[in-house]
């Protein structure tokens, strides 16, 4: 008990750090957002005519993006989701730099009625690591 009293702040920080590491994957699972790797994303694009949506900022998108991807920054998605209505019956693969913003975008798209939404795990970084092409 003396150890706990002497180190209460270290214990609180350790608990918070563990929560921050464990909660994001659990919340994604609970929200129904599906994560796909680069191989699965390419299969969706080639076999199911999936649309790639890049939710990074303009400068990030202009520095290199998945070929033929649509671009709507995450901050504008709430207002501009109507631009994607014609793709509602197709799978959407959502991309950002690392996979965090695209996970949020998937949640937004689900709320607007998009059923088949996938988050590219690792984002454009994973795409580049797999030596897949980017266009500018």
Coil, helix or strand at residue 16: helix
* Cβ atoms of 17 and 100 closer than 8 Å: no
Where b means 16+ CB within 10 Å and e means fewer, 53-87 reads bbbbbeebbeeebbeebbbbbbeebeeebeebeeb
- Is 106 a catalytic site residue? no
| CA atoms of 136 and 128, how far apart (whole Å) | 14
Residue listed under structure tokens 């939710």: 55
- Considering the candidates 33, 41, 45, 96, report the single residue annotated as catalytic: 96
- DSSP symbol at 90: S
Catalytic residue set: 96
């Amino acid at each position: 008990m003396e150890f706990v009293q002497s180190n209460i702040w270290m214990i609180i920080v350790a608990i918070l750090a563990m929560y921050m590491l464990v909660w994001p994957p659990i919340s994604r699972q609970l929200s129904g957002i599906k994560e796909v790797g680069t191989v699965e994303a390419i299969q969706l694009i080639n076999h199911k005519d999936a649309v790639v949506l890049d939710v990074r900022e303009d400068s990030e998108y202009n520095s290199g993006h998945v070929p033929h991807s649509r671009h709507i920054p995450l901050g504008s998605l709430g207002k501009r989701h109507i631009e994607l209505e014609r793709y509602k019956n197709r799978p959407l693969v959502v991309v950002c730099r690392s996979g965090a913003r695209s996970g949020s975008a998937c949640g937004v798209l689900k709320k607007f009625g998009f059923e088949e939404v996938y988050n590219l795990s690792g984002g454009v970084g994973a795409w580049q690591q797999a030596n897949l092409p980017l266009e500018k």
